[in-house]
Amino acid sequence: MNESYQANPYGYALPSAAERNRVLRNTYALLALTMVPTVLGAWLGVATGITAALSGALGLVVFLGGAFAFVFAIEKTKNSAAGVPVLLGFTFFMGLMLSRMLAVVLGFKNGTDLVMTAFGGTAAIFALMAGLSGVIKRDLSSLGKWLTVGALLLMVGAIINVFVASSTGMVVISMLAVGIFSAFILYDLKRIIDGGETNYISATLGIYLSLFNVFQSLLSLLGIFGGDRD
């Protein structure tokens, strides 16, 4: 058996503690780096209004089509030198897609405060989940299938709400999204710590998507309940 692996109580080989720590460090570093193109994409979108026309079904098609294409490309290149640039391109795209909501929120009198509050809330959730992932000893692998089902149902609900345009539906979806994707952050970090995820690009992708959804959902809730139009 390779010396970098050790047996675990569940009957399969896992990376050594040193290897797991390396994956976790690389994931944190790449996650921090993804914030740069995300912010650049969001800034470009708000400054130019390039995504202003992407509303309703058109916006949904562009977002889902682009997101799935990028995710497919990332998974195909995650073991090559192209993996990181493709991931960063994806985060730039996600920043662009976020810019339409940001522009709406920034249109409020207290828009900047709302954005910073959503950012702070997302950072606090990430810090809490990171802390929990380091102290929880229980195996959380069985949680993954339930979270995946929840995320799929949430996506279906969000797609339906694009056409229904219900404020109540948006509130419910956003609140559920904060809970589900916060749990996904914990699940993904715990997988790295336990050795279930050994590719830091895949790990970063999963955590980034969860953080993006938490931030977007918090921003939506703050805009609905705290937006000052005066």
Q: What is the pTM of this model?
A: 0.90
What pLDDT score does 56 carry?
A: 66
Q: 164 burial class (0-12, 13-18, 19+ CB within 10 angstroms)?
A: exposed
Q: 2 burial class (0-12, 13-18, 19+ CB within 10 angstroms)?
A: exposed
Q: 203 burial class (0-12, 13-18, 19+ CB within 10 angstroms)?
A: buried
What pLDDT score does 10 carry?
A: 41
Query: Average pLDDT per run of 10 along the chain, which is 230 residues long?
Result: 41 74 95 97 92 76 90 94 96 95 92 95 97 90 90 91 86 95 96 92 96 96 82
Structure token pair of residue 220:
């939506």
Helix (H, G, I), strand (E, B) or coil at 104: helix
What pLDDT score does 60 carry?
A: 80
∠ CA 204-209-215, nearest 5°, is 120
The DSSP bridge partners found for residue 119 are none
Helix intervals (H) in 49-82: 56-77
Residue 175's nearest CA partner among 194, 154, 190, 192 is 154
In this structure, are residues 15 and 63 in contact, taking their beta carbons and an 8 Å threshold? Answer: no
What pLDDT score does 62 carry?
A: 87
What pLDDT score does 29 carry?
A: 97
Please write down the long-range contacts of 12-20, taking CB distance under 8 Å and 24 or more positions apart: 14/194, 14/195, 14/196, 15/195, 15/198, 19/195, 19/198, 20/192, 20/193, 20/194, 20/195
